[in-house]
Amino acid sequence: MPVSLQQKNQHLLWRAGFGIDEKNLNNIINTKTKKIVSKLFEEAASTPDFIDVADESLKKIYQELADQNTMNPLDKTLEKFSREKRQEIRKQSGADIKKLNLKWLNEMTTTSAVLREKMSLFWHGHFACKEDNIFNHQNLLQIIRTNALGSFKDLLFEVSKSAAMISFLNNQQNKKQHPNENFAREVMELFTLGRGNYSEEDIKEAARAFTGWGFNYKGEFVFKKNQHDDGIKTILGKTGNFEGEDVLNILLEQKQTAKFITQKIYKYFVNDDVDAANIDWLSNRFYKNNYNISSLMKDIFSSDWFYDEKNIGAKIKSPVELLVGIRKQLNIQLEKPEIQLLLENALGQVLFYPRNVAGWPGGKNWIDSSSLMLRLQIPRLIKDDTEFDLTPKTDDDQQMGMKDNFYNKMQMELAKKYRINAKINWTEYINQFEKVKREDLLETLKQLMLQTPFNSIHSTVIESNIDKTSREAYIKSATIAIMSTPEYQLM
């Protein structure tokens, strides 16, 4: 069966953004896909505002550190404070990271630049970083959001020189005669070439080139020349007196880097089952276009194969995509946005706390017995405002060895009964269907919210859960029932 224009447009809006909101419900039926692609890139071109949630008390402390121009590790510098003060600083930074999480979630939900934020979410997983410093997180997020659709070279350089990444991957400790290989290894394995496309000797030599890379307490990159190994290095067959920038350029010269990035983007935006011919075509163009991310994404979204039936409904929504998608489609306002943090944790994707250095594995890893049950319950919990039990995950791998971190403490305090406390703007949503005949409502709603056909059993369950007492009740109950199906988890 041919894919309809509506299916194509919904597929595009889910993959390039976070689904459909009440403002574009009717537009997806008749608007040409090419026009929607153009609009997505046009709206994503704006420079994002810096998200600043850091508490004023922390700003004052870090400004004092910056004024002292100290280059000591944070823990050592904070030794001048009492134990209680140090705990207070860490607690406040943790609370601010929570606020940053919620602020970014809200931006994903409300912005017209959905492609920029969706692409940023991808890079957030690609350049996975777990940091306790709110300022470092804010700066790294701004780097990612600003460069999300620009040059991968610029993005790689800025991320690699960010205080967040240098701290997370221990490059502050990477010094002449005492090299730390962590940063060099992850740059090759996770950011550029992919595992198996370099040697252990390449890592050792690259680590020497990155010696001396650090940052100050303004979060600015600092090259400490006296700590840099200025000897000759051989990396991926090239020999010279290389510094860190030289290593990044050598990695970008490798066509394998273009292929690795392309394949990862393909799995994220198209299908976990990659098409080798498509990857070769896309990666060659990506390389020739000097790693222009927008050009790569336009190649994907403008290709006929992107809209093949096998690629529609072939991916499981990540927890963030699911939560943001539901909020967008029903224009939901949350009385207590903090509940989203617990839902993120229970579903396995807490922003700024990636599962490990490789980010989140995605795909079928999003689903287990407990997370699937919660996923199916969320729409009804939002509509009915009923209490529910929530036992957040305490997987230490997700917390990256930080069992005493802010999120785990919050989980112990909040492992009890919850309400989502949400308000749905039903009026605007229902008005979108005023021209649809009563007998066509269910089919219209199915086509709107699902990217894959119903299982016959689920269809029967839907029918039995619809309130037919009025047109309004019908639309509300059918919408929630459809969102509560396994099929809604797919995009």
Q: How many CB atoms lie within 10 A of CB 94?
A: 16
CA distance 463 to 282: 44
Share of the chain above pLDDT 70, in %: 91
What is the predicted pLDDT for the residue at 73?
Answer: 47
| Structure-token pair, residue 97 | 């990271």
| The token pair that represents 130 in the structure block | 């777990």
d(C-alpha 358, C-alpha 180), whole Å: 19
What's residue 397's pLDDT?
47
Closest CA to 149 of 49, 40, 250, 255: 40
pLDDT less than 50: residues of the chain: 73, 75, 396-404
Q: How far apart are CA 213 and CA 172, in angstroms?
A: 7
Other C-beta atoms within 10 Å of 437: how many? Answer: 8
Q: Which two tokens stand for residue 474?
A: 């019908």
Q: Which residues pair with 417 in a beta bridge?
A: 389
- Please say whether the dihedral angle defined by the alpha carbons of residues 188, 194, 198 and 200, taken in this order, is positive or negative: positive
In Å, the largest CA–CA distance within the chain is 80
pLDDT value at position 390?
76
